[in-house]
Amino acid sequence: MTMEDLYTAASGGMAEGADSGLETRLQELVLDSPDVEDFLTQLAELASARLSTGSNTVMCGITTIRRKRPVAAASSDSCARALDELQNGFGDGPCLTALRQQATVHVPDVAQERRWSDYMQAVAQQDIGSILAVPLVMASDADAVINFYSRRAHGFSGPDITAAESFGVQASLALRLALRIAHLREARDDLSAAMQSRTTIDMAIGAVMAQNRCSRESAFKVLKNASSHRNLKIRDVAASVIASISGETDVPTYFSE
């Protein structure tokens, strides 16, 4: 099954009324990224580029919740990652609040912000003037938020906030698709590994049957006993049997993906 097949199976189409240019780019990221981590990194870079202007460079980080703890999963640059990790260290801030409340949080001027005072002081020392946090709607056990940072106070206008929220809507769907594709890929790989193991064991059983002129059940018991005595998986014992006869260390499996 190709990545395009996986994408079609996982998606069913992007949301109606979406920015077609952004939609196309997100689809490309989903299809081209080798894993979710790479997808998130490219998503952060794309988010940064979408909100940055010639006079206002916007940095972007993406925080996810793993095992009930926030993790700086990806960033457009090292500064954004450091800011995400700083907030996670404090355990509170605009981005984590956006995650918990599932609502956009805007800090127009870090120097004037009275919430999260300790974190704001630390952020000000990093020469950050404003922050915008947009949660991603995952519709699953996973949680994520896109964090935008500007070195300018009032670095995010009303249209900027609208654009960031619109980006978040489409990014949410793209991330959900990327996660679903990753799960499909893992399932395919697990199936391939299982078939490879089954083929190896079947070939070894046949070899033992031929050598010992015994039944399939008896041959399998031979492999099972060897597995127990040598503290190895049955597949590894089977592979050693085949290698001792044919010299092959990799047994080909013939099936259509």
Query: What domains are there in the chain, each with its CATH number?
Result: 3-185 (3.30.450.40), 191-246 (1.10.10.10)
User: How far is residue 106's CA from residue 206's CA, in Å, rounded to a whole number?
Assistant: 68
pLDDT tens by residue, 197-208: 777 787 888 888
Cβ neighbors of 253 (< 8 A, separation 6 or more) are 192, 195, 196, 199
Judged against a pLDDT cut of 90, whether residue 120 lies above it is answered with yes
Say what the pLDDT of residue 105 is: 96
**Binning pLDDT at 50, 70 and 90, where does residue 230 land?**
confident
Spatial CA neighbour of 80 closest among 131, 26, 136: 131
Give the rounded distance of the alpha carbon of 46 from its chain centre. 16
Q: Which residue has the higher pLDDT, 10 or 188?
A: 188
User: How far is residue 86's CA from residue 98's CA, in Å, rounded to a whole number?
Assistant: 16
For the chain, state the CA radius of gyration: 26
Say what the pLDDT of residue 48 is: 94
Average pLDDT, integer, range 186-212: 72
Mean pLDDT of the chain: 80
Say what the pLDDT of residue 186 is: 56
Q: Please give, one letter per residue, the 3-state secondary structure of 73-108.
A: EEECCHHHHHHHHHHHHHCCCHHHHHHHHCCCEEEC
Average pLDDT, integer, range 72-88: 92
Say what the pLDDT of residue 245 is: 78
User: How far is residue 203's CA from residue 206's CA, in Å, rounded to a whole number?
Assistant: 5
Q: Which residue has the higher pLDDT, 104 or 256?
A: 104
pLDDT tens by residue, 31-74: 777 777 888 898 999 999 999 999 999 999 998 887 677 888 88
Say what the pLDDT of residue 151 is: 96
Judged against a pLDDT cut of 70, whether residue 255 lies above it is answered with no
pLDDT tens by residue, 93-112: 999 999 889 999 999 999 99
Say what the pLDDT of residue 148 is: 97
**Binning pLDDT at 50, 70 and 90, where does residue 232 land?**
confident
